[in-house]
């Protein structure tokens, strides 16, 4: 991915938007603060952003359609961009006509938030975007509108269910980090996973990996599905563990298995949203390490740190207990347990998004942050499509 040499590079965090089948369908950006013209020029002035997140769309949360000048609109292809405007803008003269013009130009439109008193919903805007951190609308209340409707700040599974009943079909928020009913691993499964993780953290023999893989049908299924996917374009069907290891190579095998642990659901179950999040963190920490000249081993440890950072969520057990069985290098354990050190601060950046203090502690500049974010999302999207 080409580096962005923009001044200033916007310190914006991309956030995933998923559908009801736990598939990423878009990435969102909140552009309500700051200069819209400067932010859009920086974000879309080069092909890097849309190329990195293809084939996903961008959902742009904006305060007012009046800010979108003809020159800015030339940067925003209607087939890749969804425009979500604050509903409060309807109180301003000319907003309805501007929305109609955007709709006629092919843009998909949403209204974000409640309608102002005395305002009617324009006929050309048939989708809703709503902050649902406090509550969801009544069940069925959105079904009469065309959609798709986006619920953001959905942070619990209960809120996700309520938003689904209301008629939302797109969701963003931290609900993927919250355990769902019946999730978690039994004692035998946990021991098997921890055993495999311990092998992955060391230079384990391939035959040892094969023995554990044979005991885990779900993980074996996902591994064989992966190596037979378009990502590897092999000419023959891979049916055995030794073949899979040979195709991937030991280094790539370890990396993919670190992520495939999150894809342990049955073959006909929903994808686990922890998988692309783990890939996102792993990819961002790896590229930040590479940018500063870290060698291959250091990059591998950075990748592992990001990949393992959600194991407590996956296994439903404290991170300290997990790390006790893995014998990771001290700085990796410190990053995972307490977000200490450069690696820990970079993990915080990947988790929370950029702020000047954390970026300074992590030794990451604006351009480095933005480039690593694009790289990580590109990688996470590919992982989600191939697993």
Q: How far is residue 42's CA from residue 64's CA, in Å, rounded to a whole number? A: 19
Q: How far is residue 62's CA from residue 323's CA, in Å, rounded to a whole number? A: 43
Mean of pLDDT over the chain = 87
Length of the chain measured in residues: 387
86: its two tokens: 């604050």
Q: How far is residue 156's CA from residue 134's CA, in Å, rounded to a whole number? A: 11
Q: How far is residue 60's CA from residue 83's CA, in Å, rounded to a whole number? A: 5
Give per-residue burial for 241-252: e unless 16+ CB within 10 Å, then b: beebbebbeeee
Task: Give the C-alpha distances (Å, rounded to integers) separating 277 from 32, 283, 376.
Answer: 25, 10, 10
Give the mean pLDDT of 224-232.
Answer: 76
The per-residue pLDDT for range 18-77, each reduced to its tens digit, is 999 999 999 999 999 878 888 898 888 877 899 999 999 999 999 999 999 999 999 999
169: how many CB neighbours lie within 10 A of its CB?
Answer: 18
245: its two tokens: 């290891």
Task: Give the C-alpha distances (Å, rounded to integers) separating 44 from 76, 189, 200, 300, 372.
Answer: 7, 46, 40, 32, 17
Of the candidates 96, 90, 95, 45, the residue with the CA atom closest to the CA atom of residue 72: 45
The per-residue pLDDT for range 289-311, each reduced to its tens digit, is 999 999 999 999 999 999 999 99
Task: Give the C-alpha distances (Å, rounded to integers) separating 5 from 18, 71, 129, 374, 378.
Answer: 30, 21, 33, 13, 19
Q: Are 322 and 194 in contact (CB under 8 A)?
A: yes
Helices (H), 67-156: 70-73, 95-104
pTM across the whole model: 0.89
Q: Count of alpha carbons within 13 Å of 56, Cβ hemisphere only? A: 27
Q: How far is residue 217's CA from residue 260's CA, in Å, rounded to a whole number? A: 12
Provide φ and ψ at 8, rounded to 5°. -90, 150
- Residues near 284 by beta carbon (within 8 Å), at least 6 away in sequence: 306, 346, 349, 350, 372, 373, 375, 376
Provide φ and ψ at 328, rounded to 5°. -80, 160
- The predicted pLDDT at position 7 comes to 46
Q: What is the DSSP letter of 155?
A: -
136: its two tokens: 């969801």
Q: Are 350 and 356 in contact (CB under 8 A)?
A: no
Calculate ∠ Cα 219-221-222, nearest 5°.
Answer: 65
Of the candidates 374, 128, 132, 171, the residue with the CA atom closest to the CA atom of residue 270: 171
- Residues near 235 by beta carbon (within 8 Å), at least 6 away in sequence: none
The per-residue pLDDT for range 241-282, each reduced to its tens digit, is 777 777 777 788 888 888 888 886 555 678 889 999 999 999
Residue 4, pLDDT > 70, answer: no
The per-residue pLDDT for range 322-349, each reduced to its tens digit, is 898 788 899 999 999 999 999 999 999 9
């Amino acid at each position: 991915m080409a580096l962005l040499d923009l001044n200033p590079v916007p310190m914006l965090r991309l956030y995933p938007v998923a559908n009801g089948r736990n598939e990423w369908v878009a990435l969102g950006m909140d552009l309500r603060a700051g200069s819209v013209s400067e932010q859009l020029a920086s974000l879309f002035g080069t092909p890097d952003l849309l190329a990195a997140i293809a084939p996903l769309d961008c959902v742009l949360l904006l305060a007012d359609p009046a800010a979108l000048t003809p020159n800015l609109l030339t940067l925003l292809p209607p087939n890749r961009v969804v425009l979500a405007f604050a509903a409060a803008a309807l109180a301003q003269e000319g907003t309805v006509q501007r929305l109609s013009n955007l709709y006629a130009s092919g843009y998909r439109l949403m209204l974000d938030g409640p309608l102002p008193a005395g305002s009617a919903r324009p006929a050309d805007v048939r989708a809703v975007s709503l902050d649902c951190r406090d509550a969801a609308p009544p069940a069925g209340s959105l079904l009469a509108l065309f959609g798709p409707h986006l619920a953001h700040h959905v942070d619990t599974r209960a809120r996700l269910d309520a938003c689904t009943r209301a008629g939302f079909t797109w969701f963003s928020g931290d609900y993927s980090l919250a355990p769902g009913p019946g999730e978690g691993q039994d004692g035998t499964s946990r021991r098997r996973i921890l055993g495999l993780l311990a092998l992955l953290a060391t230079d384990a023999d391939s035959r040892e990996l094969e023995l554990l893989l044979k005991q885990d049908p779900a993980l074996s299924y996902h591994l064989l599905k992966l190596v037979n996917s378009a990502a590897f374009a092999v000419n023959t069907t891979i049916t055995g563990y030794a073949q899979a290891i040979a195709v991937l190579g030991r280094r790539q095998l370890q990396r993919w298995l670190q992520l495939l642990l999150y894809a342990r659901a049955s073959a006909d179950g929903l994808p686990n949203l922890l998988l692309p999040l783990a890939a996102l963190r792993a990819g961002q920490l790896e590229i930040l390490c590479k940018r500063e000249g870290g060698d291959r081993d250091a990059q591998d440890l950075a990748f592992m740190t990001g990949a393992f950072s959600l194991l407590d969520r996956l296994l439903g057990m404290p991170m300290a207990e997990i790390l006790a069985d893995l014998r990771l290098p001290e700085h990796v354990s410190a990053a995972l347990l307490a977000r200490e050190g450069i690696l820990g601060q970079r993990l915080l950046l990947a988790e929370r998004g950029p702020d000047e203090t954390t970026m300074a502690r992590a030794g990451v500049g604006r351009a480095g942050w933005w480039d690593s974010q694009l790289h990580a999302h590109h990688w996470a999207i590919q992982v989600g499509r191939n697993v």
